[in-house]
Amino acid sequence: MLKIWRWYTNCLAVHPVKTQVISSGLIWGLGDLAAQAVTRATAVKKKNLFLSDEDNIHINWRRVVTTSIFGMAFVGPIGHFWYEGLDRFLKCRFSYPPKSMRFVAMKVALDGIIFGPVDLFVFFTYMGFASGKNVNQVKEEVKRDFLPALIVEGGIWPIVQVGNFRFIPVRYQLLYVNLFCLLDSCFLSWLEQQQDAAWKQWFKTFSFKEQKSRDG
């Protein structure tokens, strides 16, 4: 294990972007395998689907590849430049000592306001189109899933990122995030499986009421 870690850190030092792209793709692919297990377990529990022994172990490799491509094409390169650039920007823009609570809080806030929503929006949109859905279907799924995911994850990821930005060196921060995305993939898969559950409708009603109050 130590040899693998040394090999990884050497690759990261020599080819940082390429290493982030490949590692993100592998981790997101593994995350989707776990997510498919959650989906099957949820379907069986709700008795919406009867699964034979053969179906129960069936893996949708196309979806695994699709999710892995998202990790490689978006999370890897964009995440690399986001965390590296965010660190440099805050060091140049503010005089807060690195790793100080003000510095970490600023990073967590910007990450939650900018990168988190963009990442979720791109994920839901990409996965919708990649599964063969049309524009209207993708729009409806984004409307259904984006706000609940954003609110639920908004209460979890800031805690994760405090530890990340406070203790993890910048070049390992995307790896740290990707490892937590193994769990996040399971959550997003479970969220999709809920479809038009009552608690999702509450989020829609809540956002509609807020919009109505702003319009007067």
Domain ranges of the chain: 2-214
C-alpha gyration radius of the chain: 19
pLDDT (tens digit, 9 = 90+) per residue, 94-146? 888 888 999 999 999 999 999 999 999 999 999 999 989 999 999 998 988 88
Which residue, 34, 58, 62, is CA-closest to 181? 34
Q: What is the model's pLDDT at position 47? A: 57
- Helix, strand or coil, per DSSP, at residue 20: helix
pLDDT (tens digit, 9 = 90+) per residue, 46-61? 655 555 554 555 888 9
**Angstrom distance (rounded) from CA 136 to CA 154:** 27
User: Quick check: 41 and 191 in contact, CB under 8 A?
Assistant: no
pLDDT (tens digit, 9 = 90+) per residue, 169-179? 999 999 999 99
User: Quick check: 128 and 137 in contact, CB under 8 A?
Assistant: yes
Q: How far is CA 214 from the centre of its chain?
A: 30
Q: What is the model's pLDDT at position 148? A: 83
Structure tokens at 202: 């509450």
**Angstrom distance (rounded) from CA 181 to CA 204:** 26
**Angstrom distance (rounded) from CA 134 to CA 136:** 6
